[in-house]
Chain A
């Protein structure tokens, strides 16, 4: 396991974090939703978007987000609650927020020093795609595209420091 300081060095190049971010995401879906994510061959964009965001502060500052369409978010809630899809209601935002929170926590716990030196904000969930996100990120950020039950999900990490 590389340390946070090792990984934070490197002229803003955090490409080595992509496998960690993907592993962190896959583990959350396997353990908490009981399903395997598959690789998205093309960078498919979700429609009717729902976006969950968790802020990171401390040794690593940034925003981690999980973006998917509303049907995928509802299916996540269904699997997490163990109820049929048609019985899912207001829990969708809560479920996606928790997924994002667990991905962020699992990701930082994979980097030595970040578990201790980086705190997470409560999740924020935005519904709809008609918005602009202005980040003060100092690097281009990381993004991975995966498929959840054949529906695209996009996990991105905007790094401020």
Chain B
């Protein structure tokens, strides 16, 4: 089964790397949405259904932690797993992200294998 992914990062290069890593991890992507920050991602979610979100933390306008705090009020985000992908290695950021519902945490730099290890289990056979 293929999935629809929303990749949120202020770097367009990093969004492409994340997409390529998902494909290298053997995840069949039917559709990929991109957003440059949390606010743009919320707009994407108004009109689109996704199965997986991968989100940076340090971003302008709305960062990744603020974004996941907003998700309980977003109908199209109900039950959609969020994995944080970030340079930030701060334990407090990890704890905060997980406490607000993030399902995983991948630190940059990363390999496609690490993406697979973190993402495939939470897709529950959807990939």
Chain A residues at the B interface, C-beta cutoff of 8 Å: 27-28, 31-32, 77, 80-82, 91, 94-95, 97-98, 101-102, 104-106, 108-109, 115-116, 120, 122
Q: Is the CB of B13 within 8 A of A77?
A: yes
Most buried by A among B20, B90, B92, B107: B90
Q: List 7 A-B contacts (CB under 8 A).
A: A32-B17, A32-B110, A94-B13, A98-B11, A105-B89, A109-B107, A122-B60
Q: Is the CB of B87 within 8 A of A95?
A: no
CB contact between A116 and one of B13, B92, B110 (< 8 Å): that residue: B92
Binding site of B, secondary structure by majority: helix, strand, loop or mixed?
loop
Interface size on B, residues (CB 8 A): 21
> Hey, which chain A residues are within 8 Å of B91, CB to CB?
115-116
- For the complex, what is the distance from the CA of A108 to the CA of B58, rounded to whole Å? 15
Binding site of A, secondary structure by majority: helix, strand, loop or mixed?
helix
- For the complex, what is the distance from the CA of A91 to the CA of B13, rounded to whole Å? 7
Q: Is the CB of B14 within 8 A of A108?
A: no
Chain B 87-106 per-residue mask, 1 if CB under 8 angstroms from chain A, else 0? 11111100000000000000
- For the complex, what is the distance from the CA of A27 to the CA of B107, rounded to whole Å? 12
Chain B residues at the A interface, C-beta cutoff of 8 Å: 10-14, 16-17, 20, 58, 60, 87-92, 107-111
- For the complex, what is the distance from the CA of A116 to the CA of B96, rounded to whole Å? 13
> Hey, which chain B residues are within 8 Å of A115, CB to CB?
88-91
Q: Is the CB of B87 within 8 A of A105?
A: yes
Which residue on chain B has the smallest CB distance to residue A116? B90
Which residue on chain A has the smallest CB distance to residue B111? A31
Given contacts A27-B109, A94-B11, A105-B108, 20 further A-B contacts (CB under 8 A): A31-B109, A31-B110, A32-B110, A77-B13, A81-B13, A81-B16, A81-B17, A82-B16, A82-B20, A91-B13, A98-B11, A98-B13, A101-B87, A104-B87, A108-B89, A109-B107, A116-B92, A122-B10, A122-B58, A122-B60
